Amino acid sequence: MASLRDIKSRINSTKKTSQITKAMQMVYSAKMNKAVLNVKAFAPYMTKIEEVTHSVAAGSAGASHPMLVARPVKKTGYIIITSERGLAGAYNSNVLRKLNQTIKERHQSKDEYAVIVIGRLGRDFLAKQDHNIVLDVIGLPDLPDFLDIKDVASKSVGMFADGTFDELNMFYSHYVSAIQQDVVENKILPLTDAGNTEVKLTSYEFEPSAEEILDVLLPQYAESLIYGALLDSKASEHSARMTAMKNSTDNAKEIINDLSLVYNRARQAAITQEITEIVGGAAALE
């Protein structure tokens, strides 16, 4: 059985750990709130560019663009968004598990898919599994802006345009609430639904031609989808970290309570033993 000193030392060390996890919980709570505000701030832009893209694609009779047309799928590109570090609960493992399941179900060999990884943990994990990683980006800040992701987004869209792969899908963790994050898969390219919509669209006059506008607009729209998913994923990440730190703090409190109970019982037993020895010694002197 551990001595009183050992039990007391464990209580003190657990209290210090709980103080750290409590502080980290507060930090990630603040970051989550900022990340959620970023998602909400980006939503009007995303809504407007989606409306314009659909209006131009649907209203330009005879206009076409490779990004609007589905072609035979010989190779699929997957973008996966993970974090730079751990301590985020099941945030990373859920996304990576979903990607692995999808690849196993849809593909027979590594030649049929390519992976674009955002985040150090995802890059390291998929590299160890020897997946076909064609592009990765690491070192993104906790609250990224578009310039941080522009290069990888542009290259990803370019790989579809030049035929490196015939469709581009994205896996990330969607922020639902502070206690819920859902792994989702979104198709980025081709934008087969851009010209087909039942929503009432705005009528535009095109200058120059609709084709030239789509050449500029469609890549920007696809890049915006990737950036919006990154913002959503970051809100999810900070939420998962906050929850993980809260659970750690709660577990530490339970351990402290259990150890305190053991300590008090051991201390009481030691006191009782000392009293018994004193009474026994006094009786022996009589």
Residue 49's pLDDT is what?
A: 87
Mean pLDDT of the chain: 87
pTM of the model: 0.87
**pLDDT tens track for 173-205:** 999 998 899 999 999 988 876 655 554 555 666
Lowest mean pLDDT among 39-53, 55-69, 91-105, 240-254: 55-69
Q: Token match 């160890």: residue?
A: 128
Query: Is 76 within 8 Å of 112 (Cβ atoms)?
Result: yes
pLDDT(164) > 50: yes
User: Cis (ω within 30 of 0) for the bond into 144?
Assistant: no
pLDDT(277) > 80: no
Task: Report percent pLDDT > 90 for the chain.
Answer: 57
Confidence band, pLDDT 50/70/90 cuts, at residue 59: low
Instruction: Give the strand pairing for 167-177 and 180-189.
Output: antiparallel
Lowest mean pLDDT among 109-118, 187-196, 253-262: 187-196
Q: What is the CA radius of gyration of the chain?
A: 28
pLDDT(76) > 60: yes
Q: Which helix (H) or strand (E) holds 79?
A: strand 76-81
Tokens of 80: 């996966």
pLDDT(236) > 50: yes
Q: Which long-range contacts (CB under 8 A, 24 or more apart) does 199-205 make?
A: 199/54, 201/51, 201/54, 201/55, 201/58, 201/59, 202/51, 202/52, 202/55, 203/55, 203/59, 204/52, 204/55, 204/56, 204/59
CA proximity to 28, closest of 83, 82, 88: 88
**pLDDT tens track for 79-94:** 999 999 988 989 999 9
Nearest 5°: the CA angle 124, 143, 40 is: 120
Residue 212's pLDDT is what?
A: 80
Residue 93's pLDDT is what?
A: 94
The letter for the amino acid at 108 is: Q
Q: At what angle do helices 210-285 and 146-161 cross, to 10 degrees?
A: 130
Residue 199's pLDDT is what?
A: 47
Confidence band, pLDDT 50/70/90 cuts, at residue 273: confident
Superfamily of domain 26-243: ATP synthase, F1 complex, gamma subunit (3.40.1380.10)
Task: Report percent pLDDT > 70 for the chain.
Answer: 90
